[in-house]
Structure 1
Amino acid sequence: MKEHTTRLTLIRALADGAFHSGETLGQQLGISRAAISKHIKALQDWGLDIYRVQGKGYCLANELELLDCEKILAQVKCSHLSLIPVIDSTNQYLLDRVGQLPSGAVCLAEYQQAGRGRRGRQWLSPFGSNLYLSMYWRLDAGMAAAMGLSLVVGIAIADTLTSLGAQNIKLKWPNDLYYQDKKLAGILTEMTGQAGDAAHLVIGMGLNIAMSARDGDAIEQLWINLSDACENVPSRNVLAATLIERLQCILVEYEQVGLAGFVDRWNEYDNFLNRPVKLLIGERVVEGIARGIDKQGGLLLETEQGITPYIGGEISLRGC
């Protein structure tokens, strides 16, 4: 859309973190100062922290590093990389193109207008604050073989963040990354296909990097940024390239060994291992001690009746 083109050009002008007058910006974009003001308001609605000082102009609160395909592809081989700054959903973009793109195709965005999480929840996606990445993967072994894939993707992300300097990254069954008992990232795996045929998987992730408290007000759970877990946060282009490479490697490994080959690695990262939790399954609540996962990806919960695996539901610390 034309308005997106204008706003993206405006963002690039402001990305250096310096002041830019409305008059200068208007001249650069060929629009009036009033139109600049209108677009600035729209960018603030996208989650960008832009402020105005009389006599100096507009300025981003912090310098902004934009995603760049060339920088990413200089670090990793990718069968197909789409960078769409403003999108409804990176997952939906790939789902709409299943069969048209090669396995391993990736979609990145700066801002999602309709990002979604597990169980149809909205995924808050402010512009340039986080990392929104989806990968398409064709699994020839079929839909049944995809059981537990989100768990393996979680391991890949945790491995990546740890290798880049983050400390004490943890996993929450079945699809979240945690730091200090707060949500750092979420994973959404969606699948299409028919029984007896290959499974077409779209694996999406949203990683909090430097989201403002204001933007996080709408989140209904405790959350945290990578900047809190990592003393020197790598650039988002480095993060994207490293995640793409690690996902490619771990998905190939998953095809060879299945989930059984990752159980011990999951348990090493498990944020809730040997802790009292409650499992929510619809209206039902089961309390017990989390004992890791089994070879099918089920949560092992110890109660007075013994240890029982559960496939569905959500967990939280008991009392939370």
Structure 2
Amino acid sequence: MKEHAIKLSILSVLADGSFHSGEGLGEQLGISRAAVSKHIKGIQAWGVDVFSVQGKGYKLAAPMQLLDQNELTQRINVPLELIPVIGSTNQHLLERISHLQSGSVCLAEYQSQGRGRRGREWVSPFGCNLYLSMYWRLEAGMAGAMGLSLVVGVAIVEAMEKLGISGIKLKWPNDLYFQDKKLAGILVEMSGQAGSAAHLVIGMGMNLRMANDTQGITQPWTSLAEVAQEDIDRNQLAAELINALEAALTEYEMTGMQGFVERWNRLDNFLNREIRLIMGNREVEGISRGINEQGAVLIETPAGLETYIGGEISLRKLE
């Protein structure tokens, strides 16, 4: 992290959204104006909009609230690592599973190697979003992890409802939506052996105020700032989500999916709508009827009510 210390120091100064001269930044940090300019370019490579105006200096496009380790630690009850610049929060925990306490969390401001489901790249610019991963030891084993991403989705939406943010829905099996636009994605990775506990790393990336086309995909995106019509306190949001995840995973260990089916169906973005389920070269069309206690999606087809545990859902009318 030492190689990023100066960039992070510059960002902490620029975070107020005001102009700061290169000379003034250099004096504060004990470096030359040329060095400041070099580090600004590195910050821009993290996806941060930094403007340079002759005679005024450098300024962010908008003020930036940085995550605060001390504030977060006071709000949560699990071990936390805040690593501003990282390859992947999920990968960081996966590599340290043998040393982690169940519930341990890794947060980042920027990921250079963020990933989504099926190995897709997850673009992760600095300070725009929330990148959060939690490690959980599931004593029931890998078979007991069926439907876990659904539980995580329920926990996240319910936590946001407590913050007064309404209208967020779930897309089976791992996305958060608002008005048919993607807001966040969930990635659960696991390891373990038959007959032993499962080691789970649950990652979530949420778009807080990132441009809708940043992910470079055709799927419509939205941001939490759009949903809430205001900027959200990132530290409060992170703490609420961490606490909600810990509570939901603890409940899941005791009750399994039983306590979450009705809650998930209440939030189902596609409930009673015509959908297409894509499974490789196979497609199933029908009406979405929620999920069952195994976490499978229920689709009403001409052949009757069918259940599926894999695939990607899309709206038929959008095809």
Aligned to 2:280: 282
Aligned to 1:199: 198
**What letter is aligned with 2:149?**
S
Displacement of 1:166 after TM fit? 1.2
Aligned to 1:76: 76
Aligned to 1:101: 100
Aligned partners of 2:23, 2:265: CA distance in 1, in Å? 57
Q: Would you say the 8 A contact 1:110–1:128 is kept in 2?
A: yes
**Closer, same or farther in 2 for the Cα pair 1:90/1:189, shift >3 Å?**
same
Aligned to 2:58: 58
Aligned partners of 1:45, 1:183: CA distance in 2, in Å? 25
**What letter is aligned with 2:233?**
S
Aligned partners of 1:46, 1:25: CA distance in 2, in Å? 19
**What letter is aligned with 1:123?**
W
Aligned to 2:135: 136
**What letter is aligned with 2:69?**
C
**What letter is aligned with 2:59?**
C
Aligned to 1:186: 185
Q: Would you say the 8 A contact 1:72–1:237 is kept in 2?
A: yes
Aligned partners of 1:2, 1:251: CA distance in 2, in Å? 35
For this pair of structures, how many residues does the alignment match? 318
Q: Would you say the 8 A contact 1:165–1:231 is kept in 2?
A: no
Displacement of 1:232 after TM fit? 4.2
Aligned to 1:47: 47
Displacement of 1:115 after TM fit? 0.4
Q: 2:218 aligns with which of 217, 220, 228?
A: 220
Aligned partners of 2:40, 2:212: CA distance in 1, in Å? 20
Aligned to 2:257: 259
Aligned to 2:169: 170
**What letter is aligned with 2:89?**
T
Aligned partners of 2:76, 2:115: CA distance in 1, in Å? 27
Alignment of 1:145 onto 2:138: no
Q: TM-score normalised to the size of structure 1? A: 0.96
Aligned partners of 1:29, 1:66: CA distance in 2, in Å? 19
SS in 2 for 1:290: strand
Displacement of 1:154 after TM fit? 0.1
Write the deviation string for residues 245-287 of structure 1: whole angstroms up to 9, x where unpaired.
Answer: 1111111110111012211110000000000011110121211
Judge which range, 105-114 or 20-29, deviates more: 20-29
Displacement of 1:30 after TM fit? 2.5
SS in 2 for 1:151: helix
Aligned partners of 2:218, 2:69: CA distance in 1, in Å? 33
Displacement of 1:107 after TM fit? 0.2
Displacement of 1:233 after TM fit? 4.0
Aligned to 1:123: 122
Q: Would you say the 8 A contact 1:280–1:315 is kept in 2?
A: yes
**What letter is aligned with 2:43?**
L
Aligned partners of 1:65, 1:24: CA distance in 2, in Å? 21
**What letter is aligned with 2:32?**
S
Q: 1:238 aligns with which of 219, 236, 239?
A: 236
Aligned partners of 2:277, 2:30: CA distance in 1, in Å? 57
Judge which range, 263-272 or 32-41, deviates more: 32-41
**Closer, same or farther in 2 for the Cα pair 1:28/1:219, shift >3 Å?**
farther
Aligned partners of 1:51, 1:74: CA distance in 2, in Å? 35
**What letter is aligned with 2:44?**
Q
Aligned partners of 1:232, 1:158: CA distance in 2, in Å? 18
Aligned partners of 2:262, 2:181: CA distance in 1, in Å? 23
Runs of 4+ in 1 over 4 A off after TM superposition: none
Query: What residue ranges of structure 1 are gaps of 5+ in the alignment?
Result: none
Write the deviation string for residues 291-315 of structure 1: whole angstroms up to 9, x where unpaired.
Answer: 1011111111111111110111000
Alignment of 1:247 onto 2:248: no
Aligned partners of 2:140, 2:34: CA distance in 1, in Å? 57
Judge which range, 100-109 or 253-262, deviates more: 253-262
Alignment of 1:299-314 (within 5 A): 299-314=297-312
Judge which range, 180-189 or 160-169, deviates more: 160-169
**Cα RMSD (Å) of the superposition?**
1.2
Q: Would you say the 8 A contact 2:123–2:215 is kept in 1?
A: no
Aligned partners of 1:310, 1:221: CA distance in 2, in Å? 23
Q: What percentage of aligned pairs have identical amino acids?
A: 62
SS in 1 for 2:24: helix
Aligned partners of 1:168, 1:120: CA distance in 2, in Å? 29
Aligned partners of 1:153, 1:198: CA distance in 2, in Å? 19
Aligned partners of 2:95, 2:188: CA distance in 1, in Å? 15
Query: What residue ranges of structure 2 are gaps of 5+ in the alignment?
Result: none
Aligned to 2:13: 13
